[in-house]
Amino acid sequence: MEEAARAPRVAVAVVTMGNRPAEVDALLESVAKQDAPPTRIVIVGNGCRLPEFAERLSLPGEVTVVELEENLGCPGGRNVGLARLREFGDVDVVVELDDDGLLVDADVLRRVGELFAADDRLGIVGFRIADEHGETQQRHVPRLGSADPLRGGYVTGFLGGGHGFRMAMLDEIGDWPARFFFAHEESDLAWRAADAGWRILYAPELLLQHPKTSPARHAVYYRVNARNRVWLARRRLPLPLIPVHLGVWMLLTVVRNRSGAGLRAWFGGFAEGLRESAGERRPMRWRTVWRLTRLGRPPIV
Q: What is the pTM of this model?
A: 0.94
What number is the average pLDDT over the span 226-254? 97
Residue 62 has what pLDDT?
82
Note the pLDDT of residue 80.
Answer: 98
H helices present in 131-259, as ranges: 167-173, 185-195, 221-236, 241-256
Is residue 94 within 8 A of residue 113, CB to CB? The reply is no
> How far is Cα of residue 123 from the mean position of the Cα atoms in its chain?
13
Dihedral of the alpha carbons of 260, 262, 268, 269, in degrees to the nearest 10:
-160
The tens digit of pLDDT for each residue in 7-59 reads 899 999 999 999 999 999 999 999 999 999 999 999 999 999 998 776 677 78
**pLDDT at 217 exceeding the cut of 60:** no
pLDDT score at 89: 94
Q: What is the mean pLDDT of the chain?
A: 93
pLDDT, residue 218, reads: 52
- Terminal-to-terminal C-alpha distance of the chain: 46
Q: Is the pLDDT of residue 202 over 90?
A: yes
Task: Reply yes or no on whether the pLDDT at 177 is more than 60.
Answer: yes
Contact 34, 108 (CB under 8 A): yes
CA distances from 35 to 12, 30, 112, 258 (A): 14, 10, 12, 47
Work out the average pLDDT over 239-266.
Answer: 93
Q: Mind listing the pLDDT tens digit for each residue in 67-117?
A: 999 999 999 999 999 999 999 999 999 999 999 999 999 999 999 999 999
Task: With CA atoms as reference, report the closest residue to 164 among 141, 135, 193.
Answer: 193
Per-residue pLDDT for 60 more than 80? Answer: no
Residue 226: strand, helix, or coil: helix
Confidence of residue 138 (pLDDT cuts 50, 70, 90): confident
Per-residue pLDDT averaged across 236-242, rounded? 98
- CA distances to 65, 76, 89, 192, 277 from 281, rounded to whole Å, are 34, 19, 30, 11, 10
- The pLDDT value recorded for residue 182 is 93
Is it the case that residue 4 has pLDDT exceeding 80? no
Written out in words, the top-level CATH class of the domain with range 2-213 is alpha beta
Q: Count other Cβ atoms within 10 Å, centred on residue 290.
A: 11
Q: Is the per-residue pLDDT at 299 higher than 80?
A: yes
Domain ranges across the chain: 2-213, 216-294
pLDDT score of 54: 62
Determine the residue type at 208: L
